[in-house]
Structure 1
Amino acid sequence: MGIISSALVAAFCGDLMFGSRQPRGVFSLWLRLAGYVPWLIVQIFAANLHVMVLVFHPRMMELINPKIIKFDSRLKSDYARMLFANSITLTPGTITVDVTALGRFSVHCIDDPSGQSLPGKMEAKIVAAFRE
């Protein structure tokens, strides 16, 4: 039911998202993103384990070091930036706080290791998918 209702909403409201500037090669983009999704699921699982270790560690308060990191992204399209921001937020331990029109990201991290990999491999995979 979820897939059917999502498809109906996308069919009826697709013009609200894309307007007259519908991206070219949408089908090939979906195929390239299909390779990104399994990798993202593995990263989400690994980040879940990391946060679980933090929560149950006896010295939890010493290990947690919340901070906001800022970095510039090389992503050009709004769609690629949106996917990157949502992927960061889906990964436990990080939350995208702000994305500027020029591609500057502000991300809240729960500890140092959570933010060390940004922008890193996640951005590289999105660059490859969007061919930017």
Structure 2
Amino acid sequence: MSLIRARYMLQRGEARLSSVLLLLSVLAVSWLLWSGLYKPLVMGLGAFSCLLSAYLAYRMGFFRHHKALVRLLPRLPGYWMWLLKEIVVSSIDVTKMILSPSLPISPTVVKLKAQTKTDVGQVIFGNSITLSPGTVTLDMHKGEVLVHCLTSDGAAELQKGEANRRAAALEHK
């Protein structure tokens, strides 16, 4: 295959068969581990969902970012552990607020400058914010992230930049 053709394929989001098979493998293993159901119908639906996800990833140009994703893989488990801890802490905080008779909320919108440099890093940062109860990423444009926080304390915590720093650390070697 010529270099020009390969570059054109990458620009369009096309991928080598090995990249597609790697994505399918990760999706299938994840699905099998998380579903816990191994009946033929459910397995067939799981296989269909993995194939559909891979097709949609192809159509959205996922494979243009394949190299960036491969570089992130070794650092993701540590990030996921930190994110899981943050989700649990946020869940407890939101539960306390909801159960409090005074309902101590102070909705706030903040604009953050993402420290991540790549599209993949910015998406990880924005999705991590949204996964934490009490915060929602509203918009992301040119490295700026608009976030709705349930409380001003939550907004202040985000502005300290720990989540931003950890998401950016995923990109660095």
TM-score range, shorter chain: 0.7 to 0.9
CA-atom RMSD in angstroms = 2.3
The C-alpha deviation readout for 1:65-110, integer Å capped at 9, x for no partner, is 112111211211111111111110110000000111x211110011
2:171 alignment partner in structure 1: 130
Does the alignment pair 1:98 with 2:139? yes
2:120 alignment partner in structure 1: 79
Secondary structure, in 3 states, of the residue corresponding to 1:55? helix
2:147 alignment partner in structure 1: 107
Structure 2 residues without counterparts, runs of 5 or longer: 1-27, 32-45
Structure 1 residues without counterparts, runs of 5 or longer: none
1:69 alignment partner in structure 2: 110
1:37 alignment partner in structure 2: 80
- Answer whether contact 2:68 2:120 (CA < 8 A) is retained: no
Indicate how the Cα distance of structure 1 residues 53 and 9 shifts in structure 2: closer, same or farther if over 3 A, else same. same
- Of structures 1 and 2, the larger Rg is shown by 2
| Same amino acid, percent of matched pairs | 29
Query: Residue 31 of structure 1: CA displacement?
Result: 1.8
In the alignment of these two chains, the number of paired residues is 129
Between the two structures, name the one with larger relative contact order (CA 8 Å, sep ≥ 6).
1
Query: Residue 64 of structure 1: CA displacement?
Result: 0.7
Indicate how the Cα distance of structure 1 residues 89 and 21 shifts in structure 2: closer, same or farther if over 3 A, else same. same
Length-normalised TM-score, structure 1: 0.83
Indicate how the Cα distance of structure 1 residues 86 and 20 shifts in structure 2: closer, same or farther if over 3 A, else same. closer
